[in-house]
Amino acid sequence: MNQEVRNKFLGDYFWGKMRSLITILLAILIVSVISTPGFAEDGVAVLEFGGEGSSQYQQAAANYLTQILIDLDRVDVISRNEIDRILDEQHFQKSGFVDGDTAGDAGNVLGVERIFVGNIDRLTTSGSWSDYDGEARVTVQLIDVETGTVLQSFQSEGSSSSEDNRTEARNEALEAAISDLSNPIREAFAITSFVTNVSRDNVDLLGGAEMGIRTGHRYYVMRQDEAGFGRKVGMIEVEQVISDDSRAKILWQEEPIEENDTVKEVPYDRQTMTAIGFSARNYSFDGESKMMPMFEFRGVMERAFESEMNVILSGGRANDVTMFDIGVEGVYEKALTPGRLYLLGSAGAGFNVARQDHDDNHMGASGTASDSGFYGNLGTGIKYYSDYDQGFRIRAGLQGQLGSTIDNWEDTDSGNSVDEGIHSEIDLSGIGFNIIATIPMNIF
């Protein structure tokens, strides 16, 4: 090897190593900026709320919000006792900080860069001495202490009921309103980092437990387009965490995930959704097999690509019999095409109410007869995601149901037994199918 070639080789080797070192140093610098949870790392404080209710409720609201921040484990949170002590020493009024200047003054005294202020907009109870219904609405602002500007504003409502205790109804409604802010606050303090390595179905992230990354947390993989806007190219779920690094599995990818792609935390674990559906079930009426069509309305709590919990209300009519069901169902998902198509397994249980018109000549009366029973079911099917975790979903499947045989019919008005002019025996065991459309929308 002549000297010129050798020098070129050594130069290329040297600059290759330097580029690798520069890349690593830049990565560390970037992650020190973008992976900082939320807005600040120097701590936050929650001031006592103002607005409706006595100081008991205003203090409780601040305590509920403080606990959310502690559970989030993203920033240092000054304890309520410490806040009271410091503000008392400085002769600060502890509630009703609704403007940036006053909140900023309190933040400077407390030595924090961000401060939460809140207001109880509504706190009411209604009902009688034996059953109280509480309602609450709160507004919470996150304020930059240095500038006095509002960084984020949150508003939420909550309700609750309690027997014999007006105070309990109000407290539970207030707690429900504050708890509803968990996901928006988590989004405000969302963790961001970037991909350091990709291998098969796994990716490695820079940052671990010290940054706040936890097993089971999910992250969108983001990539800038030509215009400089970030777009989602995939989703990952953390499986292993150590102090400085994490490993995640790929849940879906629209494009191959690459090193240096940015990741941003998904600010919720489960979504509340609404579903409507149609099913047909094979029941036995007096020993004769018949299909009963049913329409379904479902409230769904979903962890995308993994599982669902459903509360189901359904009703249908066939052979002069009207059937109403209320039940629950759990669904487990197994990927066929990650992010799109999944194999389902389900199990559920519920309560049936059946009604039919009767004309009992023996009694000389006519009217409506009713009876009820219980059921359990097992099912399988497929589920399609139209736009990964953000679009609507379609399910289709088969179910086998083991139900009661209802044969003790009573007139709904008189309570007398009815045994003529009706289907005297309906066996609610059978096989059926369903088709369900789910929309990422909470209407409850």
| Choice between 345 and 230, residue whose per-residue pLDDT is larger | 345
pLDDT in tens, 142-199: 988 888 888 899 999 999 888 778 888 889 999 999 999 998 998 888 899 999 999 9
Tell whether the model's pLDDT for residue 276 goes beyond 90. Answer: yes
pLDDT tens for 343-397 read: 999 999 999 999 998 876 555 567 888 899 999 999 999 999 999 998 999 999 9
| Between 404 and 25, the higher pLDDT residue | 404
- pLDDT, residue 106, reads 81
What pLDDT is attached to residue 366? 74
DSSP letter at 74 equals S
Contact between 77 and 64 (Cβ < 8 Å): no
Domain ranges of the chain: 44-188, 190-268, 271-439
Summarised one tens digit per residue, pLDDT across range 285-331 is 988 899 999 999 999 999 999 999 999 999 999 888 999 999 999 99
Residue 38 pLDDT grade (very low, low, confident, very high; cuts 50, 70, 90): very low
pTM over cut 0.75:
yes
* CATH number for domain 190-268, candidates 3.20.20.370, 1.10.287.130, 2.40.10.410, 2.60.40.1080: 2.40.10.410
Q: Take residue 245 and report the two structure tokens written for it.
A: 């690094």
Residue 325 near residue 277 (C-beta atoms within 8 A): no
CATH fold of 44-188: Rossmann fold (3.40.50)
Q: What is the pLDDT of residue 35?
A: 39
Determine the pLDDT at residue 367.
Answer: 81
How far is it, in rounded angstroms, from Cα 247 to Cα 238?
Answer: 6
% pLDDT > 70, the chain? 86
Centroid of chain to Cα 53: 30
Whether 26 shows a pLDDT value over 80: the answer reads no
Percent of the chain at pLDDT exceeding 90: 47
> Architecture of domain 271-439 in CATH?
Beta Barrel (2.40)
The segment with the largest mean pLDDT, out of 49-58, 98-107, 399-408, is: 399-408
Query: Which residues lie closer than 8 Å to 120 by C-beta, 6 or more apart?
Result: 49, 50, 51, 52, 53, 57, 58, 61, 136, 137, 138, 174
Judging by beta carbons within 10 Å of its beta carbon (0-12, 13-18, 19+), is residue 185 exposed, middle or buried?
A: buried
Read off the tokens for 379.
């099912």
**Whole-number pLDDT of residue 147:** 84
Identity of residue 253: Q
Segment 262-277 mean pLDDT: 92
> Burial of 220 by CB count in 10 Å (0-12 exposed, 13-18 middle, 19+ buried)?
buried
Residue 280 is which amino acid?
A: A
d(CA 285, CA 288): 5
As a whole number, the mean pLDDT across the chain is 84
Q: Residue 438 pLDDT more than 60?
A: yes
Non-local CB neighbours of 3 within 8 Å, separated by 6+ positions: none
Cβ atoms of 38 and 188 closer than 8 Å: yes
Q: For residue 7, what are the CA distances in angstroms to 2, 17, 169?
A: 9, 15, 81
Strand partners, 133: 126, 161
